[in-house]
């Protein structure tokens, strides 16, 4: 069976509750870009483990129990005594566009590359068919931590593991743009698939056209989501543009739109779908997710699975 690892950070999520616009009422959940992708991958039938660090507190217990209930593997979750998860608050405007406020400087996940368990975690990456992480994942680690992780990914790729990099960019997570550009360049060179967006790349490469942004990504397979509801694709043997279908419901919250797109795209590719088919699936799931508040939508709201071709996107033989 194809196995996927998602690496990153999950935080406590506070979002405005119904009727709380004037009263300051918030509901509590959890989320984080790569964790959101892991949840949607699992719901789409992919065998996925989440790799992170959490505290030994009750909220961390709740997170791990919730992930297990979603079918996510938790054997690579490190628990750190005395530590806590980070926290973020979502503020949305009347069009559903979101703004995040974070409290995460001392979160347990930031220590993931500096633990006694780190070597075992990094060596385990070669046992997966695909490893997925984002720019946010890389931003929470030190320079040395990023170097260790990227070196482990290079070793894993030699054994057939595929590396997927999502450009999810938050400027506040980086000390300066020059460091971020260097990290992105390294990730582009090492990734088999890059899931990018003009929203992410415009602050890093101001003034660049969509064509130039795409050309600057050296990965063999690239998805570039545009400001319009569409994406452009470049892959071995082809390229194209895939537009999203018009939404039939109002947008409530755009949180996890990109994370759910990533999950459906990767699930499609793992099932043997073409990049165009996978991108349509990504648009379809993201179009549902934005109609619900928070990062993780109710299970009943998931769109029906559509049959794909037999799996061809497998780890190379060893």
Q: In the chain, which ranges are E strands?
A: 3-7, 11-16, 26-31, 47-55, 77-80, 87-92, 98-103, 130-134, 162-166, 193-197, 221-225, 230-235, 238-243
pLDDT tens across 163-215, in order? Answer: 999 999 999 999 999 999 999 999 999 999 999 999 999 999 999 999 999 99
Residue 96, pLDDT score? 62
- Report in angstroms the alpha-carbon separations of 67 from 60, 75, 276: 11, 11, 30
CA–CA gap between residue 245 and residue 248 (Å, rounded): 9
**3-class SS at 43?**
helix
Of the candidates 163, 168, 195, 177, the residue with the CA atom closest to the CA atom of residue 255: 168
User: Is residue 259 annotated as part of the catalytic site, yes or no?
Assistant: yes
In our burial notation (b when 16+ CB lie closer than 10 A, e otherwise), range 167-185 reads bbbbeebbeeeeebeebbe
49, 166, 200, 259: the catalytic one is 259
Delimit the domains of the chain by residue range. 3-301
CA–CA gap between residue 307 and residue 148 (Å, rounded): 39
pLDDT tens across 91-106, in order? Answer: 777 766 767 788 888 8
pLDDT tens across 236-281, in order? Answer: 989 999 999 999 899 988 889 999 999 999 999 999 999 999 999 9
Neighbours of 102 (CB within 10 A): 14
- Report in angstroms the alpha-carbon separations of 272 from 230, 231, 238, 249: 22, 20, 16, 30
**3-class SS at 173?**
helix
Q: How far is CA 242 from the centre of its chain?
A: 20
Tokens linked to 173 = 């997570």
To the question of domain 3-301 being in CATH 1.10.150.170, the answer is: no
**pTM score above 0.95:** no
* Residue written as token pair 């799931």: 285
Of the candidates 298, 225, 288, the residue with the CA atom closest to the CA atom of residue 253: 288
CA–CA gap between residue 223 and residue 200 (Å, rounded): 12
pLDDT tens across 67-79, in order? Answer: 999 999 999 999 9
Tokens linked to 89 = 């608050």
Residue 310, pLDDT score? 43
CA–CA gap between residue 120 and residue 254 (Å, rounded): 36
């Amino acid at each position: 069976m194809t196995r996927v690892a998602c690496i990153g950070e999950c935080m406590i999520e506070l979002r405005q509750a119904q009727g709380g616009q004037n009263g300051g009422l918030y509901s509590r959940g959890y989320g984080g870009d790569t964790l959101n992708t892991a949840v949607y991958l699992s719901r789409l039938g992919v065998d996925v483990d989440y790799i992170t660090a959490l505290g030994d507190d009750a909220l961390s217990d709740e997170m791990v129990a919730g992930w297990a209930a979603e079918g996510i593997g938790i054997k690579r979750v490190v628990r750190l005594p005395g530590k806590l998860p980070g926290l973020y608050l979502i503020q949305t405007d009347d069009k559903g566009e979101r703004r995040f406020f974070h409290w995460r400087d001392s979160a347990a996940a930031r220590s993931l590359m500096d633990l006694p368990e780190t070597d075992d975690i990094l060596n385990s990456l070669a046992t997966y068919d695909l490893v997925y992480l984002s720019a946010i994942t890389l931003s929470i680690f030190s320079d040395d931590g990023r170097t260790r992780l990227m070196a482990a990914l290079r070793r894993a790729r030699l054994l057939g593991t595929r590396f997927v990099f999502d450009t999810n960019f938050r400027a506040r997570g980086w000390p300066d743009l020059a460091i971020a550009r260097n990290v992105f360049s390294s990730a582009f060179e090492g990734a088999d698939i890059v899931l990018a967006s003009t929203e992410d790349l415009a602050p890093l490469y101001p003034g660049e056209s969509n064509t130039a942004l795409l050309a600057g990504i050296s990965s063999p397979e690239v998805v570039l989501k545009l400001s319009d509801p569409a994406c452009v694709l470049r892959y071995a043997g082809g390229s194209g543009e895939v537009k999203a279908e018009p939404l039939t419901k109002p947008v409530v919250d755009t949180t996890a739109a990109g994370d759910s797109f990533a999950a459906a795209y990767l699930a499609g590719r793992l099932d043997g779908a073409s990049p165009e088919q996978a991108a349509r699936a990504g648009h379809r799931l993201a179009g549902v997710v934005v109609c619900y508040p928070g990062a993780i939508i109710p299970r009943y709201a998931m769109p029906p699975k559509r049959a794909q071709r037999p799996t061809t996107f497998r780890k190379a033989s060893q």
